[in-house]
Amino acid sequence: MGEVDEAFIQAPEQRPNLSIVDEAQGIPVIDLSPVHQHFENDTVSDPSAIEAVVKEIGRACKELGFFQAINHGVPLNLRNRVEDVSRRFFSQGLEEKKKVARDQTSLPGYYDSEHTRNVRDWKEGLDFLTKEPTSVPISADYDDDRTVQWTNRYPQNPPDLRGAVLEYIEEVEKLAFKLLELIALSLGLEPRRFHGYYLKDQSSFIRFNHYPACPWPHLALGVGPHKDPGALTILAPDEVEGLEVRRKSDKQWIRVKPTPQAFIINIGEVVQVWSNDEYEGAEHRVVVNSQKERYSIPFFFNPAHYTMVEPMKELINEQNPPKYKPYNFGKYLVKKKDSNFEKQNVENIQISHFRLP
């Protein structure tokens, strides 16, 4: 990653305070096998088992915003393939990787902390859209209706990367729709209530992450504290720990201990708004260490760019009025993207900016 400089050094309030980390506690592991069997067979052999999974997911979304999913239906050999091509891509020299470098006009492509302005994360990444092309607003200005189309930049090496990525996207997207249905049911909504925001268009993408060993782990973070702006994130981690979640009950950071073959699931700000704060996206970060590198593959399940995100009408009444004003998801996403490349003169946009008094 190069010599240390101020771009990699976290501000004092962001640096990892390892003394408060309570490792591997409180992240529920949820068995999705009853749900997977139901979707595969289109029958409900044990309704009580489905209801139990729905309650577990509802509890996890309410109390922490994170859980791990086992028996999720995504083939293990496919996950192994996509993890392998990710590692082989990052093992190449910088010159080769930069052949698919992203720029300020488009999200897909390669980037690292050393060559992206105002990014303090100690990592490198490679992004792929799930739908190609993907239309997004050309600016965050609500008076500007223009859009631009983003397209993927697939590297020539490894040669089998593109095929593995496309197959993986297809399978993990199926899981994402299942999870959306379970979340909807846990809120007392119709199971397909959220599907309409995805069926015609979506702005979802997957990311290959590589966190090299860091000589200054007490000064840097792999990813600083944040909430995900989309609806769901489905993370395929390797065996190296590093992901930490801020527990809502006492605001302590807890280390996620990956369960073999499980996905780590977290809800984002879109579900927080849809649920009218019944569920809250959890703040999380990634710490690095000086001994081990770490790899992960998150899938960010985002609605179409023109989606107006607002609390579900079925959840609003006199006792529970809407807590957010509607906002355009694409413009929100573009505004956040802009802060990755240029230092902003104002605070970066946050979901709290749309909260009603």
pLDDT digits (tens, 9 = 90+) for 138-172: 999 999 999 999 999 999 999 999 999 999 999 99
Predicted pLDDT at 336: 83
Any idea what the Cα angle at residue 287 is, between residues 285 and 289, rounded to 5°?
170
Question: What single-letter amino acid sits at 145?
Answer: D
Predicted pLDDT at 16: 47
Please check the confidence at residue 229 and state whether its pLDDT lies above 60: yes
* Residue 117 near residue 326 (C-beta atoms within 8 A): no
Predicted pLDDT at 11: 47
Predicted pLDDT at 135: 93
Q: How far apart are CA 210 and CA 314, in angstroms?
A: 41
Please check the confidence at residue 342 and state whether its pLDDT lies above 70: no
Please check the confidence at residue 339 and state whether its pLDDT lies above 70: no
**From residue 87, how far is each of 1, 155, 190, 192, 297 by CA, in Å?**
16, 13, 40, 36, 11
What average pLDDT does range 302-306 have in this prediction? 96
3-state secondary structure of 320: coil
Predicted pLDDT at 42: 54
Please check the confidence at residue 192 and state whether its pLDDT lies above 80: yes
Please check the confidence at residue 312 and state whether its pLDDT lies above 50: yes
Predicted pLDDT at 25: 55
What average pLDDT does range 184-205 have in this prediction? 96
Class level of CATH domain 18-354: mainly beta
Predicted pLDDT at 214: 87
Mean pLDDT score of the chain:
87
For residue 235, what are its two tokens?
Answer: 């993370």
Please check the confidence at residue 1 and state whether its pLDDT lies above 60: no
Predicted pLDDT at 303: 98
Predicted pLDDT at 9: 44
Predicted pLDDT at 216: 82
Q: How confident is the model at residue 4 (pLDDT cuts 50, 70, 90)?
A: very low
pLDDT in tens, 5-61: 444 444 444 444 443 333 445 689 999 999 876 655 555 557 888 999 999 999 999
Please check the confidence at residue 338 and state whether its pLDDT lies above 70: no
Predicted pLDDT at 35: 85
Predicted pLDDT at 47: 83
State percent of the chain over pLDDT 90. 71
3-state secondary structure of 245: strand
3-state secondary structure of 22: strand
